[in-house]
Amino acid sequence: MTAWTAGRAAVVVLGGVAALALGGPAIAAADPPNCTAADMAGVATGVSAATSTYLFTHPDVNEFFTNLKGQPKDQVRDKARQYLDENPQVKADLQEIRQPLGDFRERCK
């Protein structure tokens, strides 16, 4: 398993959250502090690193997400949702890892 593969799995897990956050409205001067593009990149980097670590330390989860590679997006979404529903601890762990992105989006609307 390469770091590249784990990174792709992390992208699947994150479900495009970072892309949605970056695709939002431009940051105005009146925004709260720490809401710059650099701040967003830093938060996303931390989430990505934490997701990679989680996947490497949970080989069964890593294998599941890795095996989604090449499947149609709608199938990936449905299979990931089903897997996470069937594995509530994994779901909770990944939600906790992604929480800083949600916090950033909420703070920097």
How far apart (Å, rounded) are the C-alpha atoms in residues 97 and 54?
9
Q: How many helices (H) and strands (E) does the chain have?
A: 6, 0
Q: Which tens digits make up the pLDDT trace of 53-94? A: 999 999 999 999 999 999 999 999 999 999 999 999 999 999
Task: Note the pTM of the prediction, 2 decimals.
Answer: 0.68
Q: Which tens digits make up the pLDDT trace of 4-61? A: 555 555 554 555 444 444 455 554 556 578 899 999 999 999 999 999 999 999 999 9
Question: What is the largest distance, in Å, between two alpha-carbon atoms of the chain?
Answer: 45
63 by DSSP, 3-state: which?
helix
Query: What would the two tokens of residue 109 be?
Result: 């609307």
Place of tokens 């490497």: 56
- Give me the pLDDT at residue 86, please: 98
